[in-house]
Amino acid sequence: MHVRKGDTVLVLTGEYAGRRGRVLRVFPKEGRALVEGVNMIKRHTRARRAGEQSRILEKEAPVHVSNLMVICPRCDQPTRVKRKVLEDGSRARACRKCGEML
């Protein structure tokens, strides 16, 4: 998966197209990610205890990762991600445009 928690991403399609946000959580099995301020839904909650009020919460819903593009922190451009193999054999993500490690 090209998106990780903490990445800044650009939303490519849908109602929130063109918006940037930080990835809060990733769901690899579903291929989805939770992005801050994107795909907001309203959740009606019931009062749990006596004296507490019912309310409507607005929270983020997961977005499919195919609709997200990582933004490089160095060149501040939406970019595809390439994988580099380092000298010690580990892999790292890098920007396709400037080569900076993500």
pLDDT in tens, 35-87: 999 999 999 999 999 989 999 999 999 999 999 999 998 989 999 999 988 88
Radius of gyration of the chain (CA): 17
Domains, the chain: 8-71 (2.30.30.30), 75-102 (no CATH)
Is the pLDDT at 12 greater than 90, yes or no? yes
Residue type, 95: C
Check residues 12 and 100 and name the one with the higher pLDDT. 12
The token duo for 42 is: 């309203």
> Average pLDDT for residues 19-25, to the nearest whole number?
96
The pTM (predicted TM-score) of the whole model is: 0.84
